[in-house]
Amino acid sequence: MTELINSLAQGVLIGGLYALFAAGLSLVFGIMRVVNLAHGDLIVTGSFMTFATVSMLGLPLWLAVLIVLPMMGLLGYVLQRGLLNHTIGTDVLPPLLVTFGISIILQNGLLQIFTADNRKLDFGAIEVMSLQMGPVAMGWYAILVFAVAVATIYGLQFLSYRTRLGRVLRATTDDPEVARVMGVRTDHVFGIAMAIALVICGIAAILFAAWTSFTPLSGPSRLLIAFEVVVIGGIGSIWGTLAGGITLGVAQALGGYLDPAWQTLAGHIVFVIILALRPAGILGGRR
C-alpha cells in the first residue's frame, strides 16, 4: 500500500514536468497552428546547453539558468521569424516538413558535438533528500520540480489573461487576419510566442537534465509525452496541460507499480482511452 501511494505521489510530481513539456507545444499550436515536430529536440538542446555550461564550463547552476533561458528565447524568436514564419499558410504540410527537418538537424548536430553518451546533470544533495510524511516519502527534488512547473503554468496564465501581450496573443490565436487589421504585427507576435514556448522548454530542459539521463536522441520521446499531455488536457487550455501532465504521470506510475515493463504502455493506454471518450481533452472547450 505504501509503495502504491509512493508511486502515485511520484506520478503527480513528474506530471508537473510533463505539463512543462506540453505547455510550449500547446502555445505554438494554438497561435500559429504549427505542430512543432522539433519540440522534443529543442528541449534536449536546452538540456545540452545546461550540460555544457554547468559540467563543461563549470559555471554555477544559477548562472546557467540565466544563460540558457534567454538563449532559448532568442533561439525561438530567430527560428520563428527567420524560418517558420515563411512556412505558415493555408497548407499544413510545409511547417510539418520543416520542423521535422529541424529535428533531424538538431539530433545530428548534438551527436556531433556531444557524442551519443548518456548525460545527466548533478544538482547535489537535493536529489537524494526526501520529505517523509508518515509512510510516504517524496523526494525534495521532485517537489521542487512540481513547484516550478505550477509556478510556470501560473505565470503563463497570468501573462495570457492579465497583460497586454497576453491579450494580443489570444486575439491572434482567435483571428490572426483581424488582429493584423487592428495593427498587430503578427510576424513579430509569432516570434514572441515561439520565444515564450522555448523559454518554457528551457525550464523543463534544465529540470529534466537532472531528473533522468538524456542523449542527443531523447527528443522524440519527449515530443511524444508533450503530444499526449496536450491531447489529454485539452488543446488551448493552460491549466489543462497541468491536468494532462498529472494524468499521464499517474497513469505511468500506476502501470509501473503493477509491472515495471508497463510504465510507458500504461501512459499510452490512458491517452488512447481519453482520446476515445473525451476527444476535446479533460479541460478542453473551457479556457
Partner 1 sequence: MTALLETRNLDAFYGDFQALYGVDVKLEEGQCVALIGPNGAGKTTLLRSLVGWVPVARETVLLNGQPIGGMGPDKIVSLGIASVPEGRRLFPSLTVDENLLMGTESGRAGPWTLDKVMEVFPALRDRRRHRGSDLSGGQQQMVAIGRALMSNPKVVLFDELSLGLAPTIVNDIARALPLMRDNGISIVLVEQDVRRALAMSDYAYCILEGRINLQGVSADLAFEDIEKAFFGAEA
Measured from the CB atom, is 172 or 247 closer to partner 1?
172
| Residue closer to partner 1 (CB basis): 83 or 184 | 184
Per CB under 8 A, 287 contacts partner 1: yes
Residues between 139 and 168 with contacts to partner 1, criterion CB under 8 A:
164, 167-168
Q: Which is nearer to partner 1, 63 or 182 (CB)?
A: 182
Which parts of 180-239 interact with partner 1 (CB under 8 A)?
180-186
Q: Name the minimum Å distance from CB 173 to partner 1.
A: 7
Angle between helices 140-162 and 2-32 (to 10 degrees): 30
CA distance linking residue 158 with residue 62, whole number of Å: 24
Please work out the total of residues on this chain that contact partner 1, with binding judged by CB under 8 A.
Answer: 19
Q: Under rule CB under 8 A, which residues in 59-118 are in contact with partner 1?
A: none
| 165-184 positions binding partner 1, by CB under 8 A | 167-168, 170-171, 173-175, 177-184
Q: Considering the complex, what minimum distance in angstroms separates the CB of residue 123 from partner 1?
A: 39
CA–CA separation, 38 vs 84, rounded Å?
12
Q: Residue 171 is placed in which grid cell? A: 486575439
Grid cell digits, residue 170: 489570444
CB of 107 to partner 1, least distance (A): 36
Using the minimum distance from each CB to partner 1, give the nearer residue, 173 or 263: 173
Report the nearest approach of partner 1 to the CB of residue 172 (Å). 9
Closest separation between CB of residue 9 and partner 1, Å? 35
d(CA 22, CA 140): 23
* Least distance in angstroms from the C-beta of 47 to partner 1: 34
Which residue, 120 or 180, is less far from partner 1 as judged by CB?
Answer: 180
By C-beta, is 33 or 180 nearer to partner 1? 180
CA angle 239/22/211 to nearest 5° reads 110
CB nearer partner 1, residue 237 or residue 263: 237
State the Cα–Cα distance between residues 162 and 151, nearest whole angstrom: 15
We find the least distance from the C-beta atom of residue 99 to partner 1, in angstroms, to be 26
Does 33 contact partner 1 by CB under 8 A? no
Using alpha carbons, select from 27, 47, 56, 80 the residue that is nearest to residue 203: 47
Task: Indicate the residue among 124 and 285 with the shorter CB distance to partner 1.
Answer: 285
**Nearest distance from C-beta of residue 176 to partner 1, angstroms:** 11
Residues that bind partner 1 (CB under 8 A): 164, 167-168, 170-171, 173-175, 177-186, 287
